[in-house]
Amino acid sequence: MKSIKNEKLIKRNATIGNWTSIAALVVLGLGMYLSVTRTELFMYSLIALVLGFALTQVGMYMGSRFGRSPRPDERLDAGLKGLQNEFVMYHYTTPVSHLLVGPGGVWVVVPYHQGGHVEFRKNRWRVKGGGFLQTYLRIFGQEGMGRPDIEIDNEIKSLKKFFGKSMEESEVPEIDALIVFTNENVEVDAGDSLIPALKLKQLKEFMRQKAKEKKLSAETLNRIKSVLE
């Protein structure tokens, strides 16, 4: 498998995450200082604390995706290592963050790092357990799954629009989506989710099975790759 990455964007966002985290500490420290030593400036200390908390969220978000290794792109590449050469994974070089193209089709891959028990019930993904760290992250909003269906639907629309600029309508390929949980300590119950969801260690075999279906001809595959690259 071939992996293509926007290294410049990864490095830039990692730097933003680092500096944002530092700024958050400074602002939080200022807020604490004002709250203790200058009680008459309570409103300013409150604003500083709120701003510092917001910066902390941004720093954690950017750091988990672009700063700390193994990053999501590195985890996905490791999970797909050994896949046939016709497959290409594009990280941050297309309208979607992670795009896998190969004989098995065009796949928008959405990684999550939740631990514990993850299940799909009543049109919602829910996370239970996972230990103190995962609980802490969920409380502070960094590891909540939100609505993957909405995120994926928007990404597919963006990708189709992108292809439409260089390809005839009849050439635009069908686009599928896949949720991948990269945490080794996770149990997944996808229930009746319309979007396939699996663990990272299942990803390579899943794509091998899709490749056997030959959803894309070599000619179509080369055409798609030429547009993306």
**Domain end (from 22, 48, 67):** 67
Cα–Cα distance for residue pair 110/191, rounded to 1 Å:
18
- For the stretch 128-134, contacts whose Cβ atoms lie closer than 8 Å and that sit 24 or more positions apart, written own/partner, are 130/183, 130/185, 130/186, 131/185
Cα–Cα distance for residue pair 181/118, rounded to 1 Å:
9
Q: Look-up: residue for tokens 């699996």?
A: 198
Amino acid at 123: N
One pLDDT digit (tens) per residue for the chain, 229 residues? 899 999 999 999 999 999 999 999 999 998 888 888 887 788 888 998 999 989 988 888 888 788 888 899 999 999 999 888 899 999 999 999 999 999 989 999 999 988 888 888 878 888 876 555 555 555 554 456 778 888 899 999 999 999 999 888 888 889 999 999 999 888 988 888 889 999 999 999 999 999 888 778 888 888 999 998 8
For residues 43 and 120, state if they share a domain. no
pTM of the model: 0.83
For residues 197 and 89, state if they share a domain. yes
How many Cα atoms occupy the beta-carbon half-sphere of 128 within 13 Å? 8
For residues 203 and 94, state if they share a domain. yes
For residues 55 and 115, state if they share a domain. no
For residues 146 and 40, state if they share a domain. no
Q: Which domain holds residue 24?
A: 2-67
Which residue, 1, 170, 143, is CA-closest to 79? 1
